[in-house]
Chain A
Amino acid sequence: MDPFNAALKITAIGMAGIFAFMFIFYISIRLIDKFFPGDEPANKQA
């Protein structure tokens, strides 16, 4: 594959991949925060 076409493919897959990763991390944060909210007893150690 010529480099230009390969670069276009990397751009399409790469940007989609980063958004997919970040979306998964976003969902993870929401879930973690739901199950372990900020006022949980775990903070008592601090």
Chain B
Amino acid sequence: MNIQELLPVLFNITWQHLLMICVGVVLIYLAIAKQYEPTLLLPMGFGAILVNIPLSSAITQIDPETGKAVEGALSVFYEAGIANEVFPLLIFIAIGAMIDFGPLFKNPFLLLFGAAAQFGIFFTIIAATTMGFDLKEAASIGIIGAADGPTSIFVSSRFAPDLLGPISVAAYSYMALVPIIQPPVIRLLTSKKERLIRMEGHPKTVSRTALILFPIIVTVIAGIVAPSSIALIGFLMFGNLIRECGVLNKLSLSAQNELASLVTILLGISIASTMTAERFVRLDTLMIIGLGLIAFIFDTFGGVMFAKLVNVFRPEGKKINPMIGACGISAFPMSARVVHNMGQKEDQYNFLLMHAVSSNVGGQIGSVVAGGLILALVPLLLL
């Protein structure tokens, strides 16, 4: 027996494997030291190490002696939970149970910013096609702009499973970087006078019946208009109905805590099964990371510019602070906090938080609707 038979890994490891192990370590560092989306980036980082050690038993390998596939646990998790979209949908139940749609009832007009701030998705789809990606890949890359990890995973696992790793890393990294990405874009697009605009509050209570009816009505409308979006929107609204019905508090808490935690662990480490050196160390990955940043920048652009457009038609005293438009993304509540803090930096007596939260909740709905529409539109245009 020679050393090559004793330590085959040492003779099979390549610089690409070593690079991916470094990527894994960096993701773990970002998760722990910087607290960038640690619930996802840490499992993904550790998973990246697991799958990039040559001959890893964590992923399915072909036995050189028999030629048969020897199943690895992470590959099994991937097939069981991501390839068939079960894990992202379970996460949607958990997210739905965490969302309070109450702020939207206080100023429902801000729901429209949840549409405008999805512009980055579509701008990025166009940009990706000019860079040589096909339509399905471009749509999967564009959905990074939803600023919504599960939606990105859901769409890319259906349209471009080979790109799932880099898309997930980009989506979760940029979500964590919202406080760094959004402020300079907002400052670039708005004047100081606009950032000083104060908005009046809407102190009102929301009835429980209203909060119960909302998820049911949204599901029915979405189902009628775009049936292919029903799984995405329906699971989110199901989670929200559990929260709002008032008789399933135990289930609501379980969805928000145990279900979210368990599925997040499985989701993160299963995605890592796609982060093998062969799939990840490619020029495409760098392009996807760059396009993801463009998606977030143009989301902010879309939201802010829509607010400025709306202000053209609004009388003095009823104008919207354009920074609120930037909150129409799904990164909740981070984006709302960022805008509130920016407002307070300009004027410490300007309290934008309530409006920012309403817009941000609109973004949570908007991102899921965008995902559903893309799932419906892409196959139609490929016919």
Q: Pick the residue among B109, B112, B115, B210 that contacts A32 (CB under 8 A).
A: B210
The total of chain A residues at the interface (CB under 8 A) is 36
The contact size tier of chain B is 35 or more
Point out residues on B near A: beta carbons under 8 Å: 104-105, 108-109, 111-112, 114-116, 118-119, 121-123, 125-126, 128-130, 133-135, 138-139, 204-210, 213-214, 217-218, 221-222, 225-226, 246, 362, 365-366, 369-370, 373-374, 377-378, 381-382
Query: How many angstroms from the CA of A39 to the CA of B207 in the assembled complex?
Result: 7
Report whether B115 and A42 are in contact in the complex, using a CB–CB cutoff of 8 Å: no
Q: Give the distance in Å from the alpha carbon of A18 to the alpha carbon of B119 in the complex.
A: 10
A interface, over-half SS: helix
The count of A-to-B residue pairs whose CB atoms sit within 8 angstroms is 133
- Chain B nearest CB from A30 CB (Å) reads 6
State whether A18 touches B207 (Cβ < 8 A).
no
CB pair B377 A10 closer than 8 Å = yes
Beta-carbon contact of A22 and B362 below 8 Å:
yes
In contact, B126 and A4 (Cβ under 8 angstroms): yes
State whether A28 and B208 are in contact (beta carbons under 8 Å apart), knowing that A7-B129, A10-B377 are contacts in the complex: no
B36 CB to closest chain A CB (Å) equals 28
Residue of A nearest to B214 (CB): A32
Whether A21 contacts B122 by the Cβ 8 Å rule is: no
Contact A29–B105 (Cβ < 8 Å): yes
Not counting A15-B122, A21-B221, a sample of 5 additional A-B residue pairs whose C-beta atoms are within 8 angstroms of each other reads: A15-B119, A22-B111, A25-B218, A26-B108, A29-B214
